[in-house]
Structure 1
């Protein structure tokens, strides 16, 4: 299956499983260096879904998962039967697994709740405008400097909540729109509705 087909199956799964949720596609974090295929917020917890179809390589999966654990509360890899064994070998047991096939999504393994988040990465998703308000008039030239200042002067729990509230601001309205306009017969247009395009191709930040 293609990534888009698996995304459609996942959103159908969310619609059946949860009454109230916010979902975003291609959610970027860590100063735009990383991107989650799908991110889901429900009951105050943010979950990342990394899609690995049967034709995808899992060689970088471990590295990707480590970055997710610094920002998200839960993390799942979504794969197909053909590469399930490879996915199991590539990720730690604390990461959840979902299996996608023509019948839908099957739950294979639950994700541990990750709590050792990185405060700098939590602040990285906030706009410069929000960061300046939090910095309370402190003059700092770059977004990275603003994030460093704010992460040093605020608690982990405060920044975690701030990042989740920001996710709701970004995807709450489009998620409601998608749920109002669609049934379980989702299309690619519905996925596009919940997709935020990055302003430019992701690049590794140089410090």
Structure 2
């Protein structure tokens, strides 16, 4: 008898449940589902902001290949304080061979987590990469405090080059928490007890954008907005900062709607 493959959504739910169980994640922390970094060149399956640190979790289900993993790890280590690879049993031997020692490696088997490598926290202190996490509106507010009034993102970033890195890091983390405040409020409101696959759709990175730009006066309830997004009933979008593409919306909908 063939066993049912455990797909990415279930692995995400199991990962979140494990973090909660171990006291590493609470409703005060921020979860980001499908988080893009590096000028949208990479998409982290799960990012977590907890205790003023940045964590990346890359999920490799039985249906995935490892062809891009080395590149993903290298990029994630640039942006996050700790990187964890969460993988199906069949991938573990190869991941143990290619992943650096500072990368955590977790095996998921029967909805349980087996830690093969603990990894290490190395705080990111790159001014350039920390600023990349921030929205232009957040950067503008910091610049105004320094007497700089400009709407051009690259010029604003240049004006902030003398700020202490620790201050930029603190502000970048607050910016991320603020940006995903609505999705996390929706998630934690519904995620009672054990997190289920269906709860993940409330972490969609497009809910807050939709509420802010398509429904700025919040005339629709949050649940209505969630339903609109995951039924594909959204307007055609163009790509720019903080704005998802139609294809990205569809991918997110399909990924989160897969059942175990």
- Could you say whether these structures have the same fold, taking a TM-score greater than 0.5 normalized by the shorter chain as the test? yes
Residues 1:199 and 2:244 are matched in the alignment: yes
- The question of whether the paired residues in 2 share the 8 Å contact of 1:62 and 1:91 is answered with yes
SS of residue paired to 1:106: strand
- The question of whether the paired residues in 1 share the 8 Å contact of 2:135 and 2:175 is answered with no
**Partner Cα distance (1:138, 1:67) in 2:** 32
- The question of whether the paired residues in 2 share the 8 Å contact of 1:51 and 1:78 is answered with yes
Q: Alpha-carbon deviations, 1:78-103, whole Å to 9, x = none?
A: 10111101111221111001111223
**Partner Cα distance (2:155, 2:64) in 1:** 36
| 2:157 counterpart residue number | 147
SS of residue paired to 1:70: helix
Q: Alpha-carbon deviations, 1:55-97, whole Å to 9, x = none?
A: 3222221221122122211110010111101111221111001
Residues 1:10 and 2:15 are matched in the alignment: yes
TM-aligned CA distance change 1:47 to 1:87, over 3 Å: same
Structure 1 stretches lacking a partner, 5+ long: 203-207
Q: CA RMSD in A?
A: 2.2
- The question of whether the paired residues in 1 share the 8 Å contact of 2:8 and 2:61 is answered with yes
Which protein has greater RCO, CA pairs closer than 8 Å, 6+ apart? 1
TM-aligned CA distance change 1:91 to 1:145, over 3 Å: farther
SS of residue paired to 2:95: helix
* 1:155 Cα offset (Å): 2.2
Q: Alpha-carbon deviations, 1:123-153, whole Å to 9, x = none?
A: 1121111222223335463x34433443x22
Aligned length: 200
- The question of whether the paired residues in 2 share the 8 Å contact of 1:79 and 1:99 is answered with yes
**Partner Cα distance (1:85, 1:114) in 2:** 25
TM-aligned CA distance change 1:103 to 1:140, over 3 Å: closer
- The question of whether the paired residues in 2 share the 8 Å contact of 1:76 and 1:111 is answered with yes
- The question of whether the paired residues in 2 share the 8 Å contact of 1:36 and 1:50 is answered with yes
TM-aligned CA distance change 1:193 to 1:149, over 3 Å: same
Calculate the TM-score normalised by the size of structure 1. 0.84
